[in-house]
Amino acid sequence: MAMGKPRAVLVAFALLVVLDRGLVRANFYDECDVTWGPQNTAIWGNGENLALSLDSDHIGSAIRTTKQFLFGSVEMEIQLVPDNSAGTVAAYYTSSLGDYHDEIDYEFLGNETGQPYTIHTNVFGKGQGNKEVQFKPWFDPTEDYHNYTIFWSPTEIVWFIDQIPIRVYRNYESAGAPFPTNQPMRMYSSIWNADDWACQGGRVKTDWSKAPFVAKYRNLKLDVCECESADSISQCYSSSNWYNGWQYSKLTAAQLGQMNWVQQNYKIYDYCTDYKRFNGQMPVECSLPQY
């Protein structure tokens, strides 16, 4: 009996190692560049912690990874702006460059004190977006850090919060739906003022007396196929890459149950049900199964 507990701990640790898939914890000092507002950017704790702030002069801040990648998993733990965050947007997303860029978004739209954040997701393929799905969180994202993961493969994109899938967007490029397939991306994080639209359609403005507005980030993890140019794209389609494994081609039954729970209880907008917006001519993927 005395050996039971240490043995259980060792088994649990072994399982964690297997499930981790060799995720690389990125150092913000080494892996990222500050692209906006260096005076509003702080990195500490051996480079594992980041704070981005928006000041009373309406100047925000932003970082991006130095490396580009095509497919894989990007994770970040984020603690959002507390109290009155109306008008502010904290973003965490992947994007390529150019007019016909690809992009996978998490955007966190602030609100008045006591009102829930809006978690905004979107995807662009070859410059075409307008695929927004929004949620209210089932937790207070300002009280503690929560894990936000973007999984991207040639077959699908999945958004996770604390390992719970909240949305799937499958690759239906063959049916005419744009999907990010061949443009290397970087990971970006930023905070800025968007009170012309972000809070209750722009009706509630930013209270600058509450500035600075600070979002905190930590434990950035990358498990991606590094791809610095179009010439190296083919390597990211290799069947030997972990994300191309059959077990990552669709959600498990348990994950489907989790996602259905989130969507039934916390989804507040889905472009695929906004018939007025598209005048009844719905995007082609809306009539196809997503999972």
Q: Alpha-carbon dihedral of residues 227, 228, 233, 238, nearest 10 degrees?
A: -30
Q: Across the strands, what pairs with 124?
A: 103
The amino acid at 63: I
Helix (H, G, I), strand (E, B) or coil at 204: coil
Which among 75, 103, 156, 285 is annotated as catalytic? 103
For residues 74 and 221, is the Cβ–Cβ distance under 8 A?
yes
Q: State yes or no: cis peptide before 212, omega within 30 of 0.
A: yes
Q: How far apart are CA 267 and CA 284, in angstroms?
A: 21
Q: Encoding tokens for residue 70? A: 């095509």
Contacts of 254 (CB under 8 A, 6+ apart): none
CB atoms within 10 A of CB 51: 18
For residues 213 and 130, is the Cβ–Cβ distance under 8 A?
no
CB atoms within 10 A of CB 208: 16
Burial class (CB in 10 A: 0-12, 13-18, 19+), 113: exposed
The amino acid at 280: G
Which among 75, 107, 156, 285 is annotated as catalytic? 107
Active site residue 143: no
**What strands lie across the sheet with 61-65, from one edge to the other?**
32-36, 61-65, 186-193, 88-95, 103-109, 118-124, 133-135, 267-270
Q: Encoding tokens for residue 278? A: 């598209």
Active site residue 48: no
**Residue numbers annotated as active site:** 103, 107
